[in-house]
Structure 1
């Protein structure tokens, strides 16, 4: 059970760090404002393919952190307990 927790924690911290780096680049208009990391993305007309890819990766890292951690912290333990309960009931 501890290995699922560590896997979920690794996914959460790794993807969360990547999201925070990209959000710092694309969602922070200025460091004096109160809207750091949460302001809407504002790409200019001169946005390159890498800017678009960075915004796409930022959203992917966010959802990977949430869904990946919940999979290892909630999903897999629930499936294991349900499987054990079904095996007990079958005997």
Structure 2
């Protein structure tokens, strides 16, 4: 179970760092107001800006779904398999 924890933590850290970097570039307009959660106000986004917007969302969902997969989903499947095997051996 320790390897699932590390994999989930790695997904959370890599996704969170990627999201935070891109959100800092595209969402921080000034330091007095909202920073990482402000609206994106790029008037004429280039192809690279659009790739950055996509990657920002991809990193966010990778962090959330990756951590949940390794911390909740895979251990639950393993517990269900063990319970099923124990029930079949009775």
TM-score normalised according to structure 1 size: 0.94
| Structure 1 equivalent of residue 49 of structure 2 | 51
Runs of 4+ in 1 over 3 A off after TM superposition: none
Deviation of the 1:77 alpha carbon = 0.2
- Unmatched segments (≥5 aa) in structure 1: none
Deviation of the 1:32 alpha carbon = 2.5
* RMSD, aligned CA: 0.7
Q: Alignment partner of 2:41: what SS?
A: coil
TM-score normalised according to structure 2 size: 0.95
Deviation of the 1:78 alpha carbon = 0.1
- Unmatched segments (≥5 aa) in structure 2: none
Q: How many residues align?
A: 89
